[in-house]
Each structure stands twice: as structure tokens, then as C-alpha cells.
Amino acid sequence: MKKVMAFAILLVIAYCLYSCLNCPQAYAPLSPPSLKHLLGTTPLGQDALCYSLKGSWASLETALASSITSLTIMVSISLLSMYLKAETLDGILGLFAGFPRFSFLVFLALVTTLNPLIIGFIVGTFSSIAASRSLVSKVKQLRESEFCKASEALGASNFHLFRYHCLPHITSFLKRYVAISSAIAVYAEAGFSMLGLEDPSIPSIGKLFALVESTPGAILAEAGQLQALTSAVMTVFIGLMVYYLLK
């Protein structure tokens, strides 16, 4: 199953690269679907299929940034829990857990230009901190296990205990939360681009939906309806594809 999903991602990337090189933008706005334009043209006269494939690259870029960020933070916090007291680390994580994430993202969008990498980094950071409280508790339980105590009695360092006795037992936990974080990042990127809070120069699936919705009469046209439906389906598909590949 994972090989199939990996192959699907490679196909999407290949189509994205192809569409970036072969996507002319000189067509009549909202042309109906045809053999030349399978999804019709956008209200701006772009080939909707090419634009959607370009936009899927932004979704994959966001998922990649989120997965790397969340994995790095969760592994780092897990390792840190081998050295700090559980109460101290839990208190620090509790402060971050109550942080208003959505409000922070909106504020950030107003003072700077959001892009898929920034959105993926922020989503990965917040989601990993929320999951790390359960992760720290699990690592502490492993730290008190008999095999860890035996290794410690033989002179093993905290890093050795984490690397060889704790990390193998939390790998499935890490993979599951990285997958969840990446899927959330895909949906967050689509949502922020649809709200107009992302860099307008970056093609995005959410922007295509917003473009159809904001153009008078576009949603009533056959091409507009098909593009709005395609945007929603592609966003859900990419999020699920990323989740099942990583988990």
C-alpha cells in the first residue's frame, strides 16, 4: 500500500513539474471542459488542470516542511525528557499548548507573507508540541523500566538509553503523529490560501477555489463548478495520501 502511495506522490510531482513548464495562460476565461482543457479554464483564462497540478506542489511542500519540523521537535523533546524532570518539561509544554495558534497565524499573515514552507513549519511546531506531552510520559515510563535500569547500572548514558531502549519503542508513535501533522498542514495551507492569507504569487488549490467563488457568476458556470469540486477533492486526496504514506 505504501509503495502505491509513494508512486502516486511521484506521479503528482512529475505532473507538477510538467505543468510548470507547459502551462500557457492565454485562453478565454471560464471555457467549458474539453479535450484540450479537461477542467476548463479559470476565471483568469488559465488551464485549470495545469493550475491545480501546480497548486498540489504547494500542498506537498507544506506537508514536507511539517513532517520534518514535527519529527525534529518530538525527537528533541523526547531526548530532553531523559535529562529534565517530568514536572518541569510538562509545565513548559503546557504553556505552549495553551497558545492561540490560529490567531497567531492570522497575525503572522498580516505582518508578513505566508508561504507553504512557513505554514508547514508553524503547523508542525504546534502539533508536535501538543503531542509531545503524551510522548514525554511514555519516555518516562520506558526510562523507569527494568531493562533501562539494568543498562544504567552497567554505565549506560542517558543518550544511550534513549537511542537503544526508548527510541525503538516510540517510533510508531512518532510516525503516527508526523502523519497527522502533515495532513493537518495540507488542509491548513489550502484554508489559508483560500482566505487570501498566503502569498498571492504562489499557485495553490485553495486559491483556485477562492478565485471561482469570488468571481461573479463563475460558480454558476460548468467550468467553475467543476473546478470548485476538483479543488476540494484534490485537497482531501493529498491530505489522505500524505497521511497513509507516513503513518
Tell me what the mean pLDDT of segment 84-100 comes to: 69
Tell me what the mean pLDDT of segment 53-64 comes to: 87
Residue 62's domain comprises 2-19+48-246
Higher pLDDT, 174 or 137: 174
The amino acid at 203:
P
C-alpha cell at 168: 525503538
Tell me what the mean pLDDT of segment 29-35 comes to: 83
Residue 6, CA atoms < 13 Å, CB-side half-sphere: 5
For the domain that residue 228 is a member of, what is the CATH number?
Answer: 1.10.3720.10
Assess whether pLDDT exceeds 80 at residue 24: no
Q: Evaluate whether 133 touches 90 at the Cβ level (below 8 Å).
A: yes
In a domain, 225, yes or no: yes
Question: Looking at residue 63, what is its pLDDT?
Answer: 92
User: In the predicted model, what is the mean pLDDT of the chain?
Assistant: 82
Measure the CA–CA gap between 15 and 124, rounded to whole angstroms: 26
172: which residues sit within 8 A by CB, 6+ positions away? none
In a domain, 30, yes or no: no
Question: Looking at residue 11, what is its pLDDT?
Answer: 59
In a domain, 28, yes or no: no
Q: In 3-state terms, what secondary structure has residue 157?
A: coil
- Domains contained in the chain, number: 1
> Percent of the chain having pLDDT more than 90?
13
Lowest mean pLDDT among 68-72, 109-113, 118-122, 166-170: 109-113
C-alpha cell at 237: 486526496
**187: number of Cβ within 10 Å:** 17
Assess whether pLDDT exceeds 60 at residue 115: yes
In a domain, 114, yes or no: yes
Measure the CA–CA gap between 61 and 186, rounded to whole angstroms: 9
In a domain, 93, yes or no: yes
In a domain, 163, yes or no: yes
